[in-house]
Amino acid sequence: MGRKPVPISILKDRAKTHLTKKQIEEREQKENAARLPSDNIQAPSWLCDRGQFIFNNIVSELKRAGMVSNLDVYLLSFLADAIVDYQSASVILREEGTYIEHTNASNNTNKVSHPLTSEKKRSFEQAYKICGDYGLSFTSLLKIANLMPAKKEEKPETPFEKKFGDV
């Protein structure tokens, strides 16, 4: 299996390009053409109020990082919905307990796991998978950070550069 493609800006920053100038230019044009707009990101109407609040909070953080586009609306709405489901199940389980008494056909009473424990687990797994895609966990954030170009430190201009510019 091959490696994941790395954006050309990162390759240039690392000074590890194995491409010609023409190939670099072509790849930059392709990457710029593949960038999707992020001008119409709104929480879907089917989300509850709490879900819309969570959605807007996540979107605002992802916008700051420049990691969200219009196509992400549906996936992020699933994430917000999974978080709301998890929170709802947690509240009910805290009130009722994780085990309930179940009476079977022969009138025997047994303690069984509350049905919402599986719903809580399903919601957690769904949210966890989506969070990994967006770098919302520490380990996935580190993976994304390794791909981001390093910020170049600005050096103060020397008297020579002030007089003659960038020669």
Residue 157 included in any domain: no
Residue 124 included in any domain: yes
Positions of the chain with pLDDT lower than 50, given as ranges? none
| Per-residue model confidence (pLDDT) at position 165 | 72
Residue 13 included in any domain: no
Residue 62 included in any domain: yes
| Per-residue model confidence (pLDDT) at position 69 | 83
Angle at CA of residue 127, ends 125 and 130, nearest 5°: 110
Residue 88 included in any domain: yes
| Per-residue model confidence (pLDDT) at position 133 | 76
| Per-residue model confidence (pLDDT) at position 55 | 93
Please tell me the pTM assigned to this model. Answer: 0.67
DSSP code string of the chain: -PPPP--HHHHHHHT---S-HHHHHHHHHHHHHHPPP-S-----TTS-HHHHHHHHHHHHHHHHHT---GGGHHHHHHHHHHHHHHHHHHHHHHHH-SEEEEE-TTS-EEEEE-HHHHHHHHHHHHHHHHHHHHT-SHHHHHHHHHHSPPPPPPPPPPHHHHHH---
Report the C-alpha gap between 15 and 56 in whole angstroms.
Answer: 38
| Per-residue model confidence (pLDDT) at position 160 | 74
Count of structural domains within the chain? 1
Residue 162 included in any domain: no
| Per-residue model confidence (pLDDT) at position 152 | 59
Residue 94 included in any domain: yes
Residue 25 included in any domain: no
Q: Which domain holds residue 71?
A: 48-151
